[in-house]
Chain A
Amino acid sequence: MAEGAFAEALGLVLGGDPEFLSIVALSLRVTLSAVAIAALVGLPLAALLAVSRFPGRQAVVVCCNALMGLPPVVAGLALYVLLSRSGPLGELGWLFTPAGMVAAQTLLVAPIVVSVGREVLEGVWEESGEYLRSLGCSRLRAVPTLLWEGRFGLLTAVLAGFGRASAEVGAVLIVGGNIAGVTRTVTTAITLETGRGNLALALGLGIVLLALVLLVNAAAFLAGRATRRAEG
C-alpha cells in the first residue's frame, strides 16, 4: 500500500487536478492566515507578558500554557456554537466558511505563540532589561525592541504554531464542514478518504501535506539563518 500511496501522491502533484489544487490552496490559505493573525496579536502580547509584573500574572501564564493543549475539536465546537445561526456571532455568517476556519485555527495557534514567545522574550529581557531601563526605556517602549532582539527564537514559536494549525483536523472539520470546493482542506480530505476506504489516496494526501510543512519550515530556516549570518 505504501507504494500505492507514493504513486497517488506523485499523481496528485503531477496531475494538476484542479480540485486537488484548490484543496491544497485552501489549506495553506487558512493555516497561513491563522498563523499571521495569531503572530500579529500574540507576539506583542507575549512581549507585554514577559516584561510586566502584576498580581495574577502567574495565573495568566499558566492558563496560556494550558491552552497550548486545547483540543482542536473542543475549539471547533466552541466556535461552532458561537457562529451557529442562533449563536452570539451568528450574524457574521462565518459558519462553514474559510473565515470561520481561520478563526478556529487562530484560537489554536495564539496560545502557542504567546507561551513560547513569552519564554523567549523573558530570556531577552533578563539579558538586556537592565541596559534598556538605564536608557530610561519604559516597559511599553521595550516591546518593539524585545520583539526585534528575540526574532530568531520567535520564528521558532511561530513555526510551532504553524505546525499545530497545519496538522489539526478537528476544528476545521467542525467549523468548516468539509464542503467540497468550499471548505475542504487536506486534513479533512484525508479523514473523508479514510472513511471511504481510499487509503492509498488518503496516504497520498498525507504525504503531500508533510511535504508542504517541510517546505515551509525549510524556507523559514533558511531565511532565519541568512539574517543571522548577516546580523550576528
Chain B
Amino acid sequence: MRGDAPILPLRLEDLAFAEGGRTLLEGIRLTLRGGPPTLVLGPNGAGKSLLLRLCAGLLAPTSGAVRWTGPGAAMARPPRHLIVFQRPVMLRRSAAGNIAHALAVAGVDGAERQRRAEAALDRFGLSPLAARPARALSGGEQQRLALARAWALGPQVVFLDEPTASLDPAAARAVEEAVAALAADGIKAVMTTHDLAQARRLAGDVAFLHRGRLLEHGPAHAFFDAPRTAEAAAFLRGELYW
C-alpha cells in the first residue's frame, strides 16, 4: 500500500507568508526526510499551524516554495500527504462511513473501500465504534478516527496540527499512541504540540519556530539537551510564551 516511490524529502525554500500586511512566516529553509516524527515546536503565534498548512498545500506561500523532491513526487496519484486538524472534521456518517467517504474521494472502488475501512478501524482499535455516528464520538475517539481515516488512504506523510490539544490526558495519550502507530507503519508524521513531554516521547527531530522564523532544526535529543539558541532554551524552561 505504501510501497510506491517516496515523495520525501520535502524542501521548504525561503518560505514566507504574509497576510494583511503582516509577515507571519519568513525565511524558512528546512528539509524534512523520512523516519521518526518531526515535531514543530514554538510558543503561541510562532507560525506552527501555518507552516503545516503551507506544507500540506492548503495555502500558497507569499514567496519561496514547498517542493517535494523525492522520486515519487512527480507522479499524480491519490493524496500521498494528508493533514489532520486540531479539531477533526467529522462528516455526518458512521465512523466506517467517514473512512469510506475519504476512500471514495480518492477513487477507491466499493469492495476495496469496505476492506480498507475495516482494516483502518482495526489498526487503531476503533472496530467496536464502526457503526456509531462519527459526530457522537468523544473528542479523543474522533481524533483517532481522523488518524485512521488518513492511514486508510495510504499516505507517505501526515501533518498533524496539535492533535492532542483540548483532550484530557487519557485521550491525549491514546491519540499519541495512534501517532506512534502511524510512524511504526513507516508513515512520516510532522506534528505540532504544546506538550513538551509528548514531544520528547515522539520526536526524531525538532524544528523550533519563534515569531515566524525557524531558529533551530536538528535531532530531538540535541534540541532538548542542549538548545543552541537562547529563545529555545527559554522555551524549554517554560519562560517563553509568545
Distance from A122 Cβ to chain B, minimum over Cβ atoms (Å):
16
Stretch from A59-67, A77-85, A109-117, A124-132 forming part of the interface with B: A124-132
A134 contacts chain B at the CB level, 8 A cutoff: yes
B184 contacts chain A at the CB level, 8 A cutoff: no
Q: Are A127 and B82 in contact (CB under 8 A)?
A: no
Q: Give which listed residue, A134, A145, A149, A232, contacts B133 with CB less than 8 A.
A: A232
Stretch from B100-108, B175-183, B199-207, B211-219 forming part of the interface with A: B100-108
Stretch from A43-51, A135-143, A180-188, A204-212 forming part of the interface with B: A135-143
Q: Are A135 and B79 in contact (CB under 8 A)?
A: yes
Q: Are A136 and B79 in contact (CB under 8 A)?
A: yes
Q: Are B91 and A149 in contact (CB under 8 A)?
A: yes
CA–CA, A232 to B83, complex, Å? 25
A54 contacts chain B at the CB level, 8 A cutoff: no
Q: Are A231 and B82 in contact (CB under 8 A)?
A: no
Q: Are A149 and B92 in contact (CB under 8 A)?
A: yes
CA–CA, A231 to B102, complex, Å? 18
Interface size class of B (residues with CB under 8 A): 20 to 34
Knowing A232-B133, A232-B135, say if A132 contacts B105 (CB, 8 Å).
yes
Query: What sequence of 0s and 1s flags, for each residue 58-91 of chain B, a beta carbon within 8 Å of any chain A beta carbon?
Result: 1000000000000000000011001101000101
CA–CA, A134 to B101, complex, Å? 13
A225 contacts chain B at the CB level, 8 A cutoff: no
CA–CA, A230 to B133, complex, Å? 8
Knowing A131-B89, A149-B92, say if A136 contacts B134 (CB, 8 Å).
no
Distance from B231 Cβ to chain A, minimum over Cβ atoms (Å):
30
CA–CA, A192 to B28, complex, Å? 77
Point out the residues of chain A lying under 8 angstroms from B85, CB to CB: 130-131
A136 — nearest CB in chain B belongs to which residue? B79
Knowing A127-B89, A145-B91, say if A137 contacts B83 (CB, 8 Å).
no
CA–CA, A151 to B83, complex, Å? 26
Most buried by A among B82, B92, B101, B106: B92
Most buried by A among B79, B91, B133, B134: B91
Q: Are A231 and B94 in contact (CB under 8 A)?
A: yes
Query: What sequence of 0s and 1s flags, for each residue 121-145 of chain B, a beta carbon within 8 Å of any chain A beta carbon?
Result: 0000000000011111000000000
Distance from B225 Cβ to chain A, minimum over Cβ atoms (Å):
35
Knowing A135-B79, A136-B106, A231-B94, say if A130 contacts B101 (CB, 8 Å).
no
Distance from A141 Cβ to chain B, minimum over Cβ atoms (Å):
6
B93 contacts chain A at the CB level, 8 A cutoff: yes
Distance from B19 Cβ to chain A, minimum over Cβ atoms (Å):
16
B132 — nearest CB in chain A belongs to which residue? A232
Q: Are B136 and A232 in contact (CB under 8 A)?
A: yes
Distance from A153 Cβ to chain B, minimum over Cβ atoms (Å):
11
B32 contacts chain A at the CB level, 8 A cutoff: no
Point out the residues of chain B lying under 8 angstroms from A57, CB to CB: none
Point out the residues of chain A lying under 8 angstroms from B134, CB to CB: 232
A129 — nearest CB in chain B belongs to which residue? B89
Q: Give which listed residue, A130, A141, A230, contacts B89 with CB less than 8 A.
A: A130
Q: Are B136 and A135 in contact (CB under 8 A)?
A: no
Point out the residues of chain B lying under 8 angstroms from A29, CB to CB: none
A128 — nearest CB in chain B belongs to which residue? B89
A127 — nearest CB in chain B belongs to which residue? B89
Point out the residues of chain B lying under 8 angstroms from A127, CB to CB: 89
Knowing A128-B91, A232-B136, say if A134 contacts B105 (CB, 8 Å).
no
Q: Give which listed residue, A134, A137, A145, A149, contacts B58 with CB less than 8 A.
A: A134
Knowing A141-B105, A232-B135, A232-B136, say if A135 contacts B82 (CB, 8 Å).
yes
Distance from B72 Cβ to chain A, minimum over Cβ atoms (Å):
16
Within 8 A of A (CB), among B3-26: none
B56 contacts chain A at the CB level, 8 A cutoff: yes
Point out the residues of chain A lying under 8 angstroms from B133, CB to CB: 230-232
Starting from the known contacts A141-B105, A148-B91, A231-B133, 20 additional A-B residue pairs (CB-CB under 8 Å) come to A127-B89, A130-B89, A131-B85, A134-B56, A134-B58, A134-B82, A135-B105, A135-B106, A136-B78, A136-B106, A148-B92, A149-B91, A149-B92, A151-B92, A231-B92, A231-B94, A232-B132, A232-B133, A232-B134, A232-B136
29 contacts between A and B (CB under 8 A): A130-B58, A130-B85, A130-B89, A131-B85, A134-B56, A134-B58, A134-B82, A135-B79, A135-B102, A135-B106, A135-B153, A136-B79, A136-B106, A137-B105, A145-B91, A148-B91, A148-B92, A148-B93, A149-B91, A149-B92, A230-B133, A231-B92, A231-B93, A231-B94, A232-B132, A232-B133, A232-B134, A232-B135, A232-B136
